[in-house]
A and B are shown apart, each in its own frame.
Chain A
Amino acid sequence: MKLFAKLAVGTALGLALLTGTASAENIKIGLVVKSLGNGFFEAANKGAQEAAKELGGVDIIYTGPTTTTAEGQIEVINALIAQKVDAIAISANDPDAVVPALKKAAQRGIKVISWDSGVNKDGRILHLNPSSNELIGNMCLKLAADHLPGGKGDFAILSATSTSTNQNTWIAEMKKQLPKYPGLNLVTTVYGDDLADKSYREAQGLLTSHPNVKVIVAPTTVGVLAASQAVKDAGKIGQVYVTGLGLPSEMAGAVHSGATKQFAIWNPIDLGYSATQLAYRLVKKETDGKPGSEINAGRMGKIKVGDNGEAAMADPFVYDAKNVDEFAKIF
């Protein structure tokens, strides 16, 4: 795996160097994602490219490790430093592990921001949340309540890895806001590691060991998909519902089968677009990105930086049988 990551990084670096030398004057922004080959990040890249075209004179280097590891990201960051990029926008696999590498980047004048999954305060200038964590936690609870008759009943959470930054933040928010939904009862939280087979097995385990669980909330694309499949295979469609955060193209099948009634996600295209806009403004010194500053983000309007240097983009958007096919064509 390690060697695989190294080879992949090497190849990515080689390719990036080839394309990078052609336009040395352009502003180079490294868009570092959790792992390559994930539909969500491919969509974010689309948004980043859109912003680059709109701003002009910006090259996006879309890169990341091939598996969701912090070590892989550190190697990618080092490669970007060697390429002398102007800014790095990262969705981190671990909030702490990538900080030393990002600090090294900052010392060399590279503007570092994080987006989607955050980095600790001292590793970046600001962090762009796709939405506020509070709103996402609330949305997950609302989805769970909407799937239960009268909003009352047991539900369980199926997460990704137990160390995933954004997953843990959202779960903490859900727990905090649980009193707002008096009928809801959180039974347990299980971890599927964002692997299809493990998530499937964990969902199966939930069905057998907690027969009272009527809703599985999975705030991760792999998890929500695997859980839907597990519910379908167990013949429990209509008794147990799956909801959470997923991409319309991936979830369309689950919505049609009836395993999921509705789910939510922000628009990853907008997220990649905004992250690129923010990185560009920082490189151009239009803003210092300190808490309290308002940054122009093109068609997304002004994004305000709040406490801890965290900024929120927009509300998560709910998809159901009516609109899922339309959005499935986009991402």
Chain B
Amino acid sequence: MSRILKYRELLLVAIIIVLIAAFSYRAPGYASPKSLANIFNDTSILIILALGQMAVIMTKSIDLSVAANLSFTGMAVAMLNAAYPGIPLPLLILTALAIGAILGAINGFMVWKIGIPAIVATLGTLTIYRGTAFVLSGGAWVNQTQMTPVFLNTPRMPVLGLPLLGWTAILVIAIVSVVFTRTIFGRSLYASGGNPTAALYAGVDVGRTKFFAFVLSGALAGLCGYLWVSRYAVAYVDIAAGFELDTVAACVIGGISTLGGIGSVGGAVLGALFLGVIKNALPVINISPFWQMAISGLVIIIAVLFNARQERRKGRLILRDAAKRRPSRIEAPVEGAAA
């Protein structure tokens, strides 16, 4: 399995490099280090959200409320900052993480304790969170002049050529990859998505794991709420409208199986970067806006096709191998393959 995944990531890296080379042929300067740092910085928010989404998707769920969560939390911290400019920034960031985590916990609770399918629960909270953001703000915008300079400028402060926003993404990638590969929670994510029944027998509480996956996704969305508002220096209800689909797309392109249990942090990051490279290139290479939409959609479908094929082949191979090795003793391996 790991060989296929490695192959998958290498392939993505290769595709991204080819894309950058092709784009820089049409738009000179696109591949300059400064431009690449720019692209990474611009994609940071998508990367962070995709990692949260990945945790949820790995447990056979989906979190459609991330963008709404981002919008609500962004609005909340922006309004806090506007109303009480004295609150120090670290405290505001912690507040953003906490609000996001609570919103995520609401999703997780519904999936875990009430047993509502994740797609339905988060579709509901998607509308609720955005609606609440509207109620909270009364439809008004929080503008640049109302927010403090520290609040707005900290994420764009350059450190070693990359703004803090980009470093935040790198930090999150590092933490999440340690959590996913080196902790009990991380292994539970893979186990409860890969084979929930086996996970249960191994002592993994599948529901609880899902709950914490939603909390993680929510907390990261909350963090992104602050990052988004400071990056675009304005908070309004519609921010990041439809962005939840980008996070799902990043995961799918990155090889995170929508059936759960398969995926790597590297894949999700590369999937997000792939989208980021395309999004940043399309304005530079002068393509009609209608084509831009079509191209983005086409890429996602191709990625899903690719995923589906890989997953199917792998499932059959394992059982066929077993059947070949011991053909006389095992009578019904075909049944297993069908299941």
Q: Which residues of A contact B (CB under 8 A)?
A: 1, 3-4, 7-8, 11, 35-39, 42, 66-67, 162, 188, 190-191, 193, 195-198, 200-202, 204-206, 208-209, 225-226, 229, 233, 249-250, 252-254, 256, 328
Q: Which chain A residues border B127 with CB–CB below 8 Å?
A: 3-4, 7-8
Determine which of B145, B238, B284, B285 lies in contact with A37 in the assembled complex, contact meaning CB atoms within 8 Å: B238
Determine which of A38, A42, A208, A233 lies in contact with B35 in the assembled complex, contact meaning CB atoms within 8 Å: A208
Q: Determine whether B140 belongs to the interface, using a CB cutoff of 8 Å to chain A.
A: yes
B30 → chain A, closest Cβ, in Å? 8
- Can you name 17 A-B pairs with beta carbons within 8 Å? A3-B123, A4-B126, A4-B127, A8-B127, A8-B131, A36-B139, A37-B134, A42-B139, A66-B237, A67-B238, A190-B289, A204-B42, A205-B280, A205-B284, A208-B27, A229-B232, A328-B145
**8 closest residue pairs by CB, A with B:** A253-B144, A205-B283, A37-B237, A196-B232, A37-B139, A4-B127, A191-B289, A205-B284
Q: Which chain B residues border A229 with CB–CB below 8 Å?
A: 231-233
Chain B positions 94 through 132: 1 when the CB is less than 8 Å from some CB of chain A, otherwise 0: 000000000000000000000000000001001100110
Q: Is the CB of A233 within 8 A of B156?
A: yes
Smallest CB-CB separation from B246: which chain A residue?
A197
Q: Which chain A residues border B140 with CB–CB below 8 Å?
A: 39, 42
- Given contacts A1-B242, A4-B126, A11-B131, A253 and B233 within 8 Å (CB-CB): yes
Q: Is the CB of A254 within 8 A of B144?
A: yes
Q: Which chain A residues border B123 with CB–CB below 8 Å?
A: 3
| Bound CA–CA A240/B312 (angstroms) | 53
Q: Which chain A residues border B240 with CB–CB below 8 Å?
A: 197
Determine which of B236, B283, B289, B290 lies in contact with A201 in the assembled complex, contact meaning CB atoms within 8 Å: B283
| Bound CA–CA A10/B240 (angstroms) | 23
| Bound CA–CA A11/B130 (angstroms) | 13
Chain B positions 219 through 256: 1 when the CB is less than 8 Å from some CB of chain A, otherwise 0: 00000000000011110111111100000000000000
Smallest CB-CB separation from A191: which chain B residue?
B289
B99 → chain A, closest Cβ, in Å? 19
Q: How many A-B residue pairs have CB under 8 A?
A: 103
Q: Is the CB of B283 within 8 A of A249?
A: no
Interface centre among A190, A250, A256, by most chain B C-beta atoms within 10 angstroms, is A250
Q: Determine whether B143 belongs to the interface, using a CB cutoff of 8 Å to chain A.
A: yes
Q: Which chain A residues border B180 with CB–CB below 8 Å?
A: none
Q: Which chain B residues border A38 with CB–CB below 8 Å?
A: 139, 236, 238
Q: Is the CB of A196 within 8 A of B234?
A: yes
Smallest CB-CB separation from A226: which chain B residue?
B232
| Bound CA–CA A229/B152 (angstroms) | 11
Q: Which chain A residues border B167 with CB–CB below 8 Å?
A: none
Q: Determine whether B168 belongs to the interface, using a CB cutoff of 8 Å to chain A.
A: no
Q: Is the interface of A mostly helix, strand, loop or mixed?
A: helix
| Bound CA–CA A10/B284 (angstroms) | 42
Known: A38-B238, A66-B134, A225-B234. 16 other contacts (CB 8 A): A3-B123, A4-B126, A4-B127, A195-B241, A201-B42, A201-B283, A204-B283, A208-B27, A208-B30, A208-B284, A209-B27, A209-B284, A249-B141, A250-B141, A253-B143, A253-B144
| Bound CA–CA A249/B143 (angstroms) | 7
Q: Which chain B residues border A252 with CB–CB below 8 Å?
A: 143-145
Smallest CB-CB separation from A7: which chain B residue?
B127
A268 → chain B, closest Cβ, in Å? 13
Q: Determine whether B297 belongs to the interface, using a CB cutoff of 8 Å to chain A.
A: no
Q: Which chain A residues border B232 with CB–CB below 8 Å?
A: 196-197, 200, 225-226, 229
A253 → chain B, closest Cβ, in Å? 3
Q: Determine whether B181 belongs to the interface, using a CB cutoff of 8 Å to chain A.
A: no
Contact-residue size bin, chain B (C-beta under 8 Å from the other chain): 35 or more
| Bound CA–CA A197/B131 (angstroms) | 21
| Bound CA–CA A3/B137 (angstroms) | 22
Q: Determine whether B29 belongs to the interface, using a CB cutoff of 8 Å to chain A.
A: yes
Q: Which chain A residues border B130 with CB–CB below 8 Å?
A: 4, 66
B223 → chain A, closest Cβ, in Å? 17
| Bound CA–CA A200/B140 (angstroms) | 21
- Given contacts A208-B35, A229-B232, A250-B234, A162 and B143 within 8 Å (CB-CB): no
| Bound CA–CA A193/B243 (angstroms) | 14
Q: Which chain B residues border A196 with CB–CB below 8 Å?
A: 232, 234, 239
Q: Which chain A residues border B143 with CB–CB below 8 Å?
A: 249-250, 252-253, 328
Determine which of B29, B131, B241 lies in contact with A67 in the assembled complex, contact meaning CB atoms within 8 Å: B241
Q: Which chain A residues border B280 with CB–CB below 8 Å?
A: 201, 204-205
| Bound CA–CA A39/B234 (angstroms) | 12
Q: Which chain A residues border B237 with CB–CB below 8 Å?
A: 36-37, 66
| Bound CA–CA A206/B280 (angstroms) | 11
Q: Is the CB of A39 within 8 A of B238?
A: no
Smallest CB-CB separation from B235: which chain A residue?
A196
Q: Which chain B residues border A201 with CB–CB below 8 Å?
A: 42, 279-280, 283
Q: Is the CB of B139 within 8 A of A202?
A: no
Q: Is the CB of A256 within 8 A of B145?
A: yes
Interface centre among B35, B280, B284, by most chain A C-beta atoms within 10 angstroms, is B284
Smallest CB-CB separation from B32: which chain A residue?
A208
| Bound CA–CA A205/B39 (angstroms) | 11
Interface centre among B30, B233, B282, B285, by most chain A C-beta atoms within 10 angstroms, is B233
| Bound CA–CA A197/B284 (angstroms) | 15
| Bound CA–CA A8/B241 (angstroms) | 15
Q: Determine whether B38 belongs to the interface, using a CB cutoff of 8 Å to chain A.
A: yes
B239 → chain A, closest Cβ, in Å? 6
Q: Determine whether B328 belongs to the interface, using a CB cutoff of 8 Å to chain A.
A: no
| Bound CA–CA A253/B149 (angstroms) | 11
Q: Is the CB of B42 within 8 A of A208?
A: no
| Bound CA–CA A233/B289 (angstroms) | 24
Q: Which chain A residues border B42 with CB–CB below 8 Å?
A: 201, 204
Q: Determine whether B2 belongs to the interface, using a CB cutoff of 8 Å to chain A.
A: no
Q: Is the CB of A35 within 8 A of B29?
A: no
Q: Which chain A residues border B144 with CB–CB below 8 Å?
A: 225, 250, 252-254
